[in-house]
Structure 1
Amino acid sequence: MPFILHGVNGYGLHPGFYSTSCPQAEAITKKIINEVIAIAPSLSGPLLRMFFHDCFVRGCDASILLDSPIKQAEKDAPPNLTLRGFQIFDRVKDALEQACPGIVSCADIVAIIARDVVAAVETGRRDGIISSLNEALISLPSPSLTINSLKASFQQKGLTTKDLVVLSGAHSIGISHCSSFIDRLYNYTGIDNTSDPTLDPEYMARLKLSCTKNGPNVLVEMDPGSYKTFDVHYYELVSKRRGLFQSDTALLDDPETKGYVEAHRYDNSRETFFHDFGTSMVNLGRVGVLTGNFGEIRKVCSKVNSL
């Protein structure tokens, strides 16, 4: 049985953790995020993915935000080089430090921002002091994984198969670099000039117009025509084998994940999906958390307090 990683004290989390110590914390964060998204709506996807990328490495401790002078932190790992929006977390932290110095953790800021993009989360985390490029390489699931590998990766974090397929719905918003999936178009399983036969041919042809074999690493919409809206359109695309990543298509290779995809490809399933996504985000937000006297509350999100 795979090792299950649980939080040090995950049950120390609860909604409204700062209601007494910093009652305006969530309102301040929401105001800033609303201003950011109004100007740059394409940041909603990256801000949401920051939560996932943080929680899957050492737990939800904001280690994704730490800088390394020798470029060996999590943010320097290849899977994280396309993440955007780090400056937004600094902006929120600065505002919260002015309002409530030393109270709100960077880990909770990552979670609250994810909430403000799509769903509710608990608060009460503390910040970690370690950030490792190598751990990010090991822990973050690759977009090219098979369904069995994806299920094992989530199980190691204490997350269920349902959490896997529900959280994959985050691909409904945002954009991706061609480099994240270009092997599906031109170098399938390491064989040159071959394409992934599970990808819809018409969709593949459209992708090749944007992502040429030796062209620039351009950006494409993960959910064409709906990439700024958090909805169930993603599942419709996956059911038609038009998921951008191999990990999207892999959801059709398991009875449970395929069943969820098929059941949620229609607009009348939105409310159920939104409820499920909120639940899975809470589950994700409990992975490996530091609470109580563990960790610290960083004054600056990009460095630990001892530096």
Structure 2
Amino acid sequence: MTRWKYLVPAVAFGLLAGFSTQESEAQGLDMQFGTTSPPGNMQSMSAEEFARRVNEKLGDAGTVTVYTDSQLGSDREMLQKLKLGTQDMSQPSTIMSTIVPEFGLFDLPYLVASREHMRCIGEEIVWPELAPKVEEAGYKLIGIWENGFRHISNNVRPINTPEDLDGVKLRVPQGVWRVRMFEAYGANPTPMAFSEVFVGLQTGVIDGQENPYSNIYAGRFQEVQTYLTETRHVYTPSFPAASLRRFESYPEEVQEALLEAGRETQDWTYEEAAQLEEETKQKLLDAGMEFNVSDREAFVAGSQSVYDIFAEEVPGGAELIERALALADGC
């Protein structure tokens, strides 16, 4: 088990028993970054790139170690650890809406048109307005990275229109808006941790799932799924976050390194993600999955009720949607 070696007094979190302050200072901080994603997909690759940049900036002052594949727990468990101050950082995505309801914006179907559009939303909405709300909840936003454009795989039939999802048991991430979206399409959405999806598909507990191509391939879902439909129904950012309690205990140079690396990794992520998307799509096709492209207009038409509910239930939701959509033309 990795030992915590903080520059701050041991009594702050009760994690440095048996270590002197001098020893802690000599060794530097040992910071844990947890992600549920398996090695080889965009989220885990982004985390590794972030860690590389932080470690390069800090030298002996501190080290970020990445734990992939839910080694430190599910997204929900890791967020709780961050809240309590027993873990340094994690990489939430869809589940952010359980902390700050406005993050449900990124679960609205066909809202984000491109990575450049997302960059504008980040600069105009996320950093100035949503990041402070994240801090109020006990977390520190350190970046806006990518989980990717999502597509549907299943073992029932090709998905051309929302009607084709009728009755399909579909795994979705833990977050209310993805559930509502697929309920609107007629599916039977089932929230489930990513680490449980392969077995769920293999045993028939669920018929299908929705994820970016890189997640589908990294999760080996092509081994237990027949149909692959390109829908691009949601673009999901990931929002690497730190425990605010721990972040504020770090020396200033460590705080600055984390924030700088978080911003730098965003540019790297967008470039890598675009390339990885095409590469992993081809690997899924080479594996024999039956491929089709959905009727986008039919899905957009079937999505209006989700927008209406968001506008009604989330304070300022209608204005948030309007502003985000307007940024598709640039910022």
Bucket of the pairwise TM-score, normalised by the shorter protein: under 0.3
Between structures 1 and 2, the one with greater strand share: 2
Q: What is the TM-score when the length of structure 2 is the normalising length?
A: 0.25
Question: Which has the higher relative contact order, 1 or 2, with Cα contacts under 8 A spaced 6 or more apart?
Answer: 1
* Bigger-Rg structure (1/2): 2
